[in-house]
Chains A and B, each alone.
Chain A
């Protein structure tokens, strides 16, 4: 079953613009992670935010977490063509080091 739901399902922007995608989840979490998947490839970990954190930065990435609303957002600033990919949020399950995945946001950066 999928806990996370990303919004929007697809996003197309011009290179240089900022891209924001959102993730909502259903149950309490210890942490939330964002992953990137280039077309036809495996997933790559981008950033992890713990439940007691509200914001985290990594390079051009900014992640926020609102546990009261059970939601997170991923902001990519100054987008590049290489950012074209699908982005997934994943939350930890209640045991066994499992992750529960959303359906992803497909991001297209137009040159």
Chain B
């Protein structure tokens, strides 16, 4: 069964350092989402891609966060510089365009700890 891949699974960094997360969606899924999830809360959308184009990045802190999906397949989310408040789970999800039910498939997530 196809799955969304994410790496690394865990990342510990010091504040002011740069971090990067990678996501490989399910093959054929044109829509890709990056979420941030703080413990005890639901996922918060950071950015949504349709193929290689950004559909929505209104909640992305653009002064320090960037995201790209250059060939419309895998994607990278970067934080530079990391701050203590960035400690959270970063989830990637994908969905198939036009499937009518907008079910999202999630990767295992990257747990980020900023010291």
Contact = CB atoms under 8 A, between A and B. Distances in A.
A98 B17 CA distance: 31
Contacts of B6: 42
Interface residues of B, number: 27
Given A48-B101, A96-B55, A42 B95 contact: no
A75 interface: no
A92 B107 contact: no
B57 to A, nearest CB: 12
A69 to B, nearest CB: 21
Contacts, number: 57
B107 A97 contact: no
Contacts of A59: none
A42 to B, nearest CB: 4
Contact of B48 (A48, A92, A96, A102): A96
Interface in B83-115: 89, 91, 93, 95, 97, 101-109, 111
Interface residues of A, number: 22
Contacts of A101: 42-44
A85 to B, nearest CB: 13
A103 B103 contact: no
A11 interface: no
A60 interface: no
Interface in A68-109: 88, 90, 92, 96-99, 101-104
Interface in A1-58: 2, 4, 31, 33, 40-45, 48
A97 B109 contact: no
Nearest 6 pairs between A and B by C-beta?
A101-B42, A42-B106, A43-B106, A97-B102, A42-B108, A103-B42
Interface of B: 4, 6, 31, 40-45, 48, 55-56, 89, 91, 93, 95, 97, 101-109, 111
Interface of A: 2, 4, 31, 33, 40-45, 48, 88, 90, 92, 96-99, 101-104
